[in-house]
Chains A and B, each alone.
Chain A
């Protein structure tokens, strides 16, 4: 369990690559620095892709959880 209260939740369940990443970027772009996005995906590739996206864009992946075929990511906008 990740101990953080998200400012916003985005559910991208059912979307295939590359849409979860594209929509994550759009959601983060619309948020303020310091805020946390909770992103939900059903694409197993997201586990690797969200980390790669965070590495490249310089945003912070606080952590992720998996349950019942859902992947939940907590991303902090740091810039």
Chain B
């Protein structure tokens, strides 16, 4: 008998920084290519990724991040302009490695029928309206995500 494998991937995207926006989209699109059904649940700062015109403008903060390719001491990372500088460098490295832009991965995810679910509760908490967000989203709460995930999904949180 063939081994039972999971056909679903359920991802929670919790953060609105560029580095943490990548893994949900890379894994979601790869899973879709593996014929898996995929949903990403965007909650708290993860909603930032879905704001209109925002996805390619997310930043990487150097502060409290000793793993940056060029590590920056916190005392410098806290200075004005350092987050923009770190983001610019990171974008340069990503481009050099020919990594797709987040907007390209988002378009691919939509095309491959990845479900993009915006957390209604955190939208209310943070004063985010549906019209602030991109098209093609679903709006729901914990139960929407859990119902999807409960069908034997691999579940990841970023």
Contact string against B for A residues 1-43, beta-carbon threshold 8 Å, 1 for contact and 0 otherwise:
0000000000000111111011011000000000000000000
Q: Which of A14, A18, A24, A25 has the most CB of B within 10 A?
A: A18
User: Could you tell me the distance between the alpha carbons of A4 and B108 in the complex, rounded to whole angstroms?
Assistant: 31
User: Could you tell me the distance between the alpha carbons of A14 and B98 in the complex, rounded to whole angstroms?
Assistant: 7
B29, CB-defined interface residue at 8 Å: yes
Complex interface: chain A residues within 8 A of B33 (CB): 18, 21-22, 24-25, 53
Contact string against B for A residues 34-77, beta-carbon threshold 8 Å, 1 for contact and 0 otherwise:
00000000000000010011001100000000000000000000
B30 touches A57 (CB 8 A): no
User: Could you tell me the distance between the alpha carbons of A57 and B33 in the complex, rounded to whole angstroms?
Assistant: 9
10 inter-chain pairs at a CB distance below 8 angstroms, sorted by A residue, are A15-B98, A21-B30, A21-B33, A22-B33, A22-B112, A25-B33, A52-B34, A56-B5, A57-B34, A57-B35
Complex interface: chain B residues within 8 A of A25 (CB): 32-35
Complex interface: chain A residues within 8 A of B36 (CB): 56
Complex interface: chain B residues within 8 A of A19 (CB): 100
The interface residues of chain B, by DSSP majority, are classed as loop
Number of interface residues of A (CB under 8 A): 15
Given the known A-B contacts A21-B30, A22-B108, are A16 and B100 also in contact in the complex, defined by CB atoms under 8 Å? yes
**Closest approach, in angstroms, between the C-beta of B109 and any C-beta of chain A?**
10
Nearest residue (CB) in A for B5 is A56
User: Could you tell me the distance between the alpha carbons of A53 and B34 in the complex, rounded to whole angstroms?
Assistant: 6
Complex interface: chain A residues within 8 A of B108 (CB): 22
B34 touches A17 (CB 8 A): no
B63, CB-defined interface residue at 8 Å: no
User: Could you tell me the distance between the alpha carbons of A19 and B36 in the complex, rounded to whole angstroms?
Assistant: 16
B30 touches A22 (CB 8 A): yes
Selected contact of B97 from candidates A16, A49, A57, CB within 8 Å: A16
Complex interface: chain A residues within 8 A of B32 (CB): 22, 25
